Structure 1
Amino acid sequence: MLRAEQAAGSIQKGVQDAYDQGLLCAECLGDAKYQVTLSDGSEVVLPPQINEIFVFCVVSDHYPALTFQSRQFLKTRDVPRVRAAFITDVFLIDVLTELLTSPLHLLSYIARRTRYGDRLMAAQEMTILGYHLRHNLWFDDEQKLVHMDEGFSLGIDIAMAARRRALPGAATPPGLLTHHEGTTLSRILQEIQVRPEPAVLDQGFQLLELDGPTRDDLNRLIDGQAQQAARDGKPHSLALMFADKSGLMVLISAENDLEASQRLAVLTTRRKYLQKADLWFGLCLAPDQARLRFGMRLAEPWHQDDQLDAAVAREEQVPPVSRNAAMRQVLRGGEGNQKIGRNDPCPCGSGRKWKKCCGP
């Protein structure tokens, strides 16, 4: 009983007060009654609309049980726009910034870690990060509680020892950061993170949440469409719908910016309407190595429209096909009667034989 009281007291002093202060500041953001100023008195101009606020509570001591005890003793409350607090120590922040050097990867992890909040059970925060680096942190709504084994932190221990002490071992834990290295999608994500447009950055976060097989398929589809566009000089497109009912339209075109942007807007708008989605992204790539040109984000709530009904009428009549059938159709250039031998090079450009790549 005494130990429980001591733990509760430690959380009160080290976390609870900071958490309450963070919530108070979050409630003031966006409220016209308050003004944010710097120490010199100059005003900080905030965005007109703040959609999400993250509260960080970071302690300076090494506190392995912080995650577990915070789950037990921290008194939380729901505030609009505020995600679950990210409670950790300064040592995890050091590891995060060491391994997730890309701002896109870092912010994506923090957004997902706080999204799941109390659904994740682990003895320490390092375990959850280790799972993310191995498998990409994502769970569906049916998984109400996930308990993670301490073994997931082993890859981080090896990587930090290799980086900081020059000991033998993998300096980057195998998994999320290594599996897709050098692929087209990885290069697109690198291009996205240096672009200041919110629409493009939001799409980067969405792409990072894809599971491994889906990212593999998307890589092959984009490579196949880019090769076709380079061969015939015509625009090619593909659409992908995500688990949260949002989607992505990819246009690969050598048209000028005005023509390509108009085409992408039409394709994205129609696909979003057809799927009755509230959010849809569009990316335009150049046929030359599928380089990123620009992007767009449509986030208006879906509503019925007579003109769009007529525009998508023909698309609705096209029967859906399986993912494998769609993959074969794209890689063969849409010609269903074109034969590809089992030992022929795969049209996706991977360099492997058809039977070892997209054939299965």
Structure 2
Amino acid sequence: MRETVRKESEIFSELAEICATPGYVHVIAYLCYKNNLIQYVDTLTPEDVLYQSSGDICVRTEISTLIGLACKKRLNIDLPLPEVMQRCIDKTNSLLQEIHQSMMQLEYIFDSSKVGEQDFNPFRNGLVLREPIFYGGESAYDFQYIDLSKIKYEKDNDWFLKNKRFSTQQLIDVVMSIQLLQNNKANNLLQELSNENPDKWTFLPVFKFTAKEVSDISNIEIDIVRLLIESFVSPIGMDEFNSLDDFNPKNAYPIIQLSEDEYLLFQLYSLTQALYETPFFWFNDDAAYRAAAMQHRGEFTENFSVERLKLVFGEDRVFSNIDIYDSKRKVGEIDVLVTFADRAIILQAKSKKLTIASRKGNDNSLQSDFKKAIQDAYDQAFSCAELLNEKKYRLVGKSGNELNINREYREIYPFCVVSEHYPALSFQVRQFLTFQQTKNIKPPFVMDVFLLDVMTEMLQSPLHFLSYVNRRVAYGEKIHSTHELTILSYHLKNNLWVDNKYTMLTLADDIPVDLDIAMQARRNGVLGAAIPEGILTKYRGTAFDQIIRGIEQLEHSAIINLGFTLLSLSENTIEMINDGIAELIKRGRKDGQHHDLTLVMSEETSGLTIHCNDYHESISGPHLESHCEQRKYAHKASSWFGICIGQKVPRLRFGVNKEYDWVQSNEMDELVRDLPKPQNLKRKNKINFAPTTKQSKKIGRNEKCPCGSGKKYKKCCLKQEWRV
């Protein structure tokens, strides 16, 4: 018999009763200490972080709900007896689990009679979306909220000074000082408790602080500190907080005032998020400043995106505020344009928030919010992408000058970037976004500024960045994860790849721990691995790595696809390439002659030929072209890549790409008749080179030269002793 699940409202009411228990703040303090703090010694390791990914912890939205309910009445901070504390903890955990289960009872929130209909999709139902919105996880690290707030509000500093009597920098300094103060208290607490009777144990002191303590750390006058702190003490009562989806003032104003000079902050993350988001409400209350604040907000999203993308692509490949003209009429506007060889990114920025009505599961509100935040941005990006390849349209930069850039793009990636935390963003994109795909316009990549920040932090090379974007948008709904950071972390460790035989790749929530540590190490100075072990570390300094770097430096359209292909190869294949190139260089340095290696890739629809020599490009170039043409023909491949690597200095010299339809030719049949067999990248053994003489085709003095020049061999390349 199936267990009956109570209504959510009934469970919520019981939860409110528990939170009103005298001394319940000590229960909240325990849950915050247990769920929000990571304990480690010296160096932060994945094992230290993994605990937070276990299924038995409370998420921040749950704890915020407990805080909000506890604050509906005047707080009683008397310490309960240990047995009372434990009963409250157990009951709280039980009710939180029950309320989560009640949100997942789909039969109660959609019409089961419509299941057989062709267009039926229960996940588009607003009530179904409530669960991923509430439990979907955080979109940002706490230090990102702090770092980005510095940039977001730099143009609003005069308003802060005039209306709040403190600067944006002072605001940030106080938040960081509270963070330092709580960390110090948490580190000292266990030692202090060891000297106390267990009946007196409580974690509440970690979360209490005074204005003087903060003033001493921040070196800011105590009156200013008090103003700053009380700016995040809620001016709103809790009477309207009666369900999970109601506006909880303790999210926007997370500091609780206990007395004239004593305060309580349970979740530092909530304060950093409030730092980033709450000034929006302050600006909005000032009718005279509202328009300027909105303009600054929009400019922040664009400017931040530009600066982050410049870290990857450089100053000369990133453009902002591009107008597209048909004759004298403006027909499109691109917020940010990135170009790299024959690839482009069109980024459209938005700053729309998810409304309270949407969080409650209102279908019309959800779809309206999504349209304003995402769909409109995508439609604009797609329209501009269509115009980008049409040379009749002019691209004019913000300086008023026409852009003199490549106008033939093999791949264009529409990016939609939102500046605010948009709950369950990727889940909503899968349900609501309507998009198109053409031969060169790829599916969209929808993200917030926080994901763009992390991507550009970890993938600071054009090929690595574009390679990830290429696969991420290509797989689309094949990858299931509660968060985009999980997918990025998986890629950094394992190289994102989904075999065609699989319909879905599901990624667990514990995967991002290495990425979490890397970001903490880079931004917070935590001792830990700043680069996750994987694609960015394994082949660093090898011949393979040098080829990738060489392709980026050449930035030639002919071999960008090769870079993408190489970055998608398996570990075994990359090792084969490294071994093969090492052998080519070894032989070339020994005998001074040309040596080559040919490998079949991608189900024999493509291949790679590597030439190793120091001949002048006027000689080695035509030979490589001819060799690739022969190989492509022999394998009836759709494309064939060729690269030339130096012998004395083993760097990428140049490359070619042969990509065209295969057509039978009697002349080519004769020319490729004696071509030696290539290495197949599917084989797991190492490459075994046959003696060069056995791999060579004897070319008659009066035959046409294999370089394709049309001259006789004796009058062209005979003296170079070229071996195909």
Shorter-chain-normalised TM-score: which range? 0.7 to 0.9
Give 3-state SS (helix, strand or coil) of 1:295's partner.
Answer: strand
1:196 aligns with 2:555: yes
Which of 660, 667, 671 is residue 311 of structure 1 equivalent to?
A: 671
Query: Partner amino acid for 2:689?
Result: Q
The TM-score with structure 2 as length reference comes to: 0.44
Query: Partner amino acid for 2:663?
Result: H
Q: Once structures 1 and 2 are overlaid, which stretch shifts more, 194-203 or 233-242?
A: 194-203
Map of 1:127 onto structure 2: 486
Give 3-state SS (helix, strand or coil) of 1:301's partner.
Answer: coil
Map of 1:223 onto structure 2: 582
1:29 aligns with 2:385: no
Q: Once structures 1 and 2 are overlaid, which stretch shifts more, 29-38 or 286-295?
A: 29-38
Inter-CA distance 326–275: structure 2 relative to 1 (3 Å threshold): farther
Once the two structures are TM-superposed, the CA of residue 240 in structure 1 deviates from its matched residue by 1.5
Which of 421, 424, 427 is residue 65 of structure 1 equivalent to?
A: 424
Deviations 1:35-66 (A, max 9, x none): 33334554335535332221100110123521
Map of 2:638 onto structure 1: 278
Q: Kindly report which structure 2 residues correspond to 1:153-192, keeping only aligned pairs within 5 A, or say none.
A: 153-192=512-551
> Matched residues in 2 for 1:185 and 1:36: separation?
37
Give 3-state SS (helix, strand or coil) of 2:452's partner.
Answer: helix
> Matched residues in 1 for 2:649 and 2:392: separation?
51
Map of 2:154 onto structure 1: none
Once the two structures are TM-superposed, the CA of residue 238 in structure 1 deviates from its matched residue by 0.8
> Matched residues in 2 for 1:307 and 1:76: separation?
47
Contact map agreement 2:645 2:651 (CA 8 A) in 1: yes
Which of 236, 239, 243 is residue 598 of structure 2 equivalent to?
A: 239
1:3 aligns with 2:365: no
Q: Once structures 1 and 2 are overlaid, which stretch shifts more, 279-288 or 194-203?
A: 194-203
Map of 1:269 onto structure 2: 629
Q: Once structures 1 and 2 are overlaid, which stretch shifts more, 25-34 or 290-299?
A: 25-34
> Matched residues in 1 for 2:648 and 2:550: separation?
14
The TM-score with structure 1 as length reference comes to: 0.85
Which of 472, 494, 502 is residue 143 of structure 1 equivalent to?
A: 502
Inter-CA distance 263–147: structure 2 relative to 1 (3 Å threshold): same
Once the two structures are TM-superposed, the CA of residue 139 in structure 1 deviates from its matched residue by 2.0
1:76 aligns with 2:413: no
> Matched residues in 1 for 2:486 and 2:367: separation?
22
Map of 2:463 onto structure 1: 104
State the superposition RMSD in angstroms. Answer: 2.4
Map of 1:56 onto structure 2: 415
Which of 612, 617, 625 is residue 257 of structure 1 equivalent to?
A: 617
Which of 309, 318, 329 is residue 689 of structure 2 equivalent to?
A: 329
Give 3-state SS (helix, strand or coil) of 1:280's partner.
Answer: strand
Inter-CA distance 320–188: structure 2 relative to 1 (3 Å threshold): closer
Query: Partner amino acid for 1:280?
Result: W
Map of 2:569 onto structure 1: 210
Give 3-state SS (helix, strand or coil) of 1:315's partner.
Answer: coil
Give 3-state SS (helix, strand or coil) of 1:296's partner.
Answer: strand
Inter-CA distance 320–298: structure 2 relative to 1 (3 Å threshold): closer
> Matched residues in 2 for 1:295 and 1:30: separation?
25
Which of 268, 278, 291 is residue 651 of structure 2 equivalent to?
A: 291
Once the two structures are TM-superposed, the CA of residue 170 in structure 1 deviates from its matched residue by 0.6
Contact map agreement 1:23 1:79 (CA 8 A) in 2: no
> Matched residues in 2 for 1:101 and 1:140: separation?
27
Inter-CA distance 167–284: structure 2 relative to 1 (3 Å threshold): same
Inter-CA distance 63–201: structure 2 relative to 1 (3 Å threshold): same
> Structure 2, unaligned stretches of length 5 or more?
1-126, 128-359, 695-724
Inter-CA distance 319–248: structure 2 relative to 1 (3 Å threshold): closer
> Structure 1, unaligned stretches of length 5 or more?
336-360
More helix by share: 2
Contact map agreement 1:228 1:333 (CA 8 A) in 2: no
Give 3-state SS (helix, strand or coil) of 2:426's partner.
Answer: helix
Deviations 1:319-348 (A, max 9, x none): 988946771335x8789xxxxxxxxxxxxx
Map of 1:86 onto structure 2: 445
Q: Once structures 1 and 2 are overlaid, which stretch shifts more, 163-172 or 55-64?
A: 55-64
Contact map agreement 1:248 1:280 (CA 8 A) in 2: yes
Contact map agreement 1:7 1:69 (CA 8 A) in 2: no
> Matched residues in 1 for 2:451 and 2:577: separation?
33
> Matched residues in 2 for 1:257 and 1:94: separation?
41
Which of 17, 21, 27 is residue 376 of structure 2 equivalent to?
A: 17
Query: Partner amino acid for 1:251?
Result: H
> Matched residues in 2 for 1:61 and 1:145: separation?
29
Decide which structure has the larger Cα Rg and report it. 2
Give 3-state SS (helix, strand or coil) of 1:16's partner.
Answer: helix
Give 3-state SS (helix, strand or coil) of 1:313's partner.
Answer: coil
Contact map agreement 2:388 2:407 (CA 8 A) in 1: no
Inter-CA distance 320–42: structure 2 relative to 1 (3 Å threshold): closer
Query: Partner amino acid for 2:581?
Result: I
Map of 2:276 onto structure 1: none
Inter-CA distance 7–288: structure 2 relative to 1 (3 Å threshold): farther
> Matched residues in 2 for 1:80 and 1:250: separation?
29
